[in-house]
């Protein structure tokens, strides 16, 4: 299964409307999407942005501007552009080395995560405060496994335990009847 870092999407596709495709993508993924379209009416731009596009560029466009917009969207959605480190508060995820680090009172501690736990943490850290349902997390972390949605609960429990062992309790919040989000619990 493909896992792009970003999608450049045209509204006028031959088999499906770009807006419909974006709606389908948003039902399964948080991948950043930028529309490149000849449709320059403000209502089209607003619709694309309301449906979840991260940006909307009209044709004709300057290729250097598109590259700059792609860099800005990637920087906003994955951390620093060109960097392979994503941080949220006291948690750091290093993509290249496949390491998760927690900042503690005694310094930085590497968390011993399985590959699935690492992918799960990465998904959550990339979109803090966003609530993910189990199916989305399962698709992001175990896309071809055929595992049940409740498998995510087991991995979340293990990840919570490992975060707690590093003094980082409360980061993964259960949203009742929906799923999980990455944000310190306020106790409310």
Distance CA 143, CA 53 (A): 23
48: Cβ contacts below 8 Å, ≥ 6 apart:
11, 18, 19, 22, 35, 37, 56
pLDDT band at 164 (very low <50, low <70, confident <90, very high): very high
Q: Provide the percentage of residues in the chain whose pLDDT is more than 90.
A: 33
pLDDT at 185: 57
What does the chain come to in residues?
A: 188
How much is the mean pLDDT over the chain? 85
- Please tell me the least confidently modeled range out of 36-50, 77-91, 123-137: 77-91
The domains of the chain are located at 7-78, 114-182
The answer to whether the predicted template modeling score (pTM) of the entire model surpasses 0.75 is no
Average pLDDT over residues 162-176: 91
pLDDT at 153: 92
Average pLDDT over residues 54-78: 86
Q: Is the pLDDT of residue 3 over 90?
A: no
Q: Is the pLDDT of residue 31 over 90?
A: no
Domain 114-182 CATH class label: mainly alpha
Residues 162, 117: contact at Cβ < 8 Å? yes
So what's the architecture of 7-78 in CATH? 3-Layer(aba) Sandwich (3.40)
Distance CA 29, CA 18 (A): 16
């Amino acid at each position: 299964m493909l896992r792009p870092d970003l999608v450049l999407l045209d509204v006028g596709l031959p088999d499906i409307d770009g807006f419909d495709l974006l709606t389908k993508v948003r039902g399964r993924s948080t991948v950043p999407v930028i529309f490149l379209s000849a449709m320059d009416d403000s209502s089209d731009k607003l619709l694309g942005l309301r449906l979840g596009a991260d940006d909307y560029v009209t044709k004709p466009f300057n290729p250097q501007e598109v590259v700059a917009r792609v860099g800005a969207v990637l920087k906003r959605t994955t951390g620093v552009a060109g960097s392979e480190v994503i941080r949220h508060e006291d948690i750091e995820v290093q993509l290249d080395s496949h390491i998760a680090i927690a900042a503690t009172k005694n310094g930085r501690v590497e968390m011993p995560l399985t590959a699935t736990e690492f992918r799960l943490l990465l998904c959550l850290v990339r979109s803090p405060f966003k609530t993910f349902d189990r199916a989305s997390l399962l698709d992001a972390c175990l896309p071809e496994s055929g595992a049940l949605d409740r498998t995510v609960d087991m991995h979340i429990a293990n990840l919570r335990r490992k975060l707690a062992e590093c003094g980082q309790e409360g980061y993964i919040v259960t949203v009742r009847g929906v799923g999980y989000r990455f944000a310190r619990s306020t106790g409310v």
